[in-house]
Amino acid sequence: MTLGTAAAAPRHAAPVIGLAVAAVGLSTTLPLPLYGAYAAAGGHGAGALALAFACYAAMVIATAPLLGPLPDRIGRKPCVLLGLGFAALSTLVLGLQPGLGALALARAAQGLGMGCVAGAAAAWAAELAGGGPDGGSGGAGQAARIVAAATIGSFATGGVLTLLALWVAPATYPPATFALHLGFAALLLVLVWRLPETLPPGVPRGAWLRRPAFPRGTWPTTLAILPGWGVTGTVLTSVPAALAAAGLPGAGPLAACAMMGFGVLAQLALRRLAPRRAVGWGLGLLVAGAAACFWGAAVQALWPLLLGGVAVGVAVYALVYPGGLAAVAEAATGEERARAVAGYFVVAHAGFSAGPLAVGLAVDALGVPLALGGTWVLVALAAAGLGRRLRRG
């Protein structure tokens, strides 16, 4: 970035970029309360729903080597604009053609959208704030906090907003939040387009692909995200599908929103914990929360379902996930750090896709109590094994 770019950057640049990230994040959670309805409308079970849901993670894994270095190849602004476009496309598809096929396409578009903005937005906001490519100023730090808050806030509120829209007008489809999101994304496309690019022309752009890396000593904290995101994905897919089939279509989305909302809020309160300690505590809480949530889903008991969802959210979003991410970031430097973070996300999204898919297929084949009970046993065994590795250091 040149000095002229920093001076010419409008003061509202970081908030605009933060709102763009929020628009992309909202696209991933706005349709969450409708997952069970999409599956039921086509006569599909939990396995089909989990397969459509997994398209997001599969797209992130498949494109991570390319999308990671893309902001340094084509610029920050084009990446954020692409992310907004994919987010709007996902909402449009679901609004026009509701169903699992549309959900699969929308989830793939959401994965591409998040992949485009994940690295570009934070770097762009920091550079426009005067921090340079390494984000070394106070303004750059404030910009990074704005982008992080936008990400957390959008994940926490998307499903809640659609739940409220359905409560006000239960017979209306698409819900009002879909149209509002499309308008929000369109406005931000215009505002983002007006911001200056910070990647100087003519500088070396690096490789097109970034291979993931796994720093030595970080495997226990990295592998902990497999059961963590596996359980959260199950709460987002198989639990709502099972409860909808039992005549409780609103209970599953409520538990999922509680999981995400309380989880991301707790992330702000617990972010100073040491990485290995955070992961260890998170695994213990995950086992307890999954037991309550799965039992509530199996017997259609609302309070264990909600309390378990909250516990799972705190365990994963506030402890296991940030702890594991911090561990790999501390174990690597420079370009290796970027590759290490990419490796962590590949493992995380593998858990977010393969885990819920396996549980969904088990629910269809074995029934809800047996499938969720067996899943809890596997989670407990994985947590116990990883916990021992973490204590050994």
Q: 229 with 351: CB under 8 angstroms?
A: yes
Instruction: List the structure tokens of 299.
Output: 């017997």
Global confidence as pTM:
0.84
**Residue-wise pLDDT tens digits, 152-200:** 778 778 888 999 999 899 888 999 999 999 999 999 999 999 999 988 7
Place of tokens 């509120």: 157
pLDDT of 26 reads 95
Which one-letter DSSP state was computed for residue 207?
-
Secondary structure of 324-340 as H, E, C letters = HHHHHHHHCCHHHHHHH
Count, residues in the chain: 393
Q: 377 with 359: CB under 8 angstroms?
A: no
Interatomic CA distance for residues 221 and 100, integer angstroms: 34
pLDDT of 179 reads 96
Place of tokens 């459509």: 52
Interatomic CA distance for residues 127 and 133, integer angstroms: 6
pLDDT of 137 reads 47
Spell out the per-residue pLDDT of the chain, length 393, in tens: 344 444 456 778 889 999 999 999 999 999 989 998 888 888 888 999 999 999 998 888 888 777 778 888 888 899 999 999 999 999 999 999 999 999 999 999 999 998 898 778 878 887 887 654 444 445 556 666 677 678 777 877 888 899 999 989 988 899 999 999 999 999 999 999 999 998 877 665 667 777 787 888 889 999 999 999 999 999 999 999 899 888 888 899 999 989 988 988 898 788 788 899 999 999 999 999 999 999 999 999 999 999 999 999 999 999 998 899 888 888 877 667 767 877 888 898 888 889 999 999 999 999 999 999 999 999 999 999 999 999 886
Place of tokens 């706005």: 30
Interatomic CA distance for residues 193 and 85, integer angstroms: 12
pLDDT of 20 reads 95
pLDDT of 139 reads 56
Interatomic CA distance for residues 235 and 295, integer angstroms: 12
pLDDT of 203 reads 62
Alpha-carbon distance values, 321 to 191, 225, 354 (Å): 32, 6, 17
pLDDT of 5 reads 47
**CB environment 177-200: b (16+ within 10 A), e (fewer):** bbeebbebbeebbebbeebbbbbe
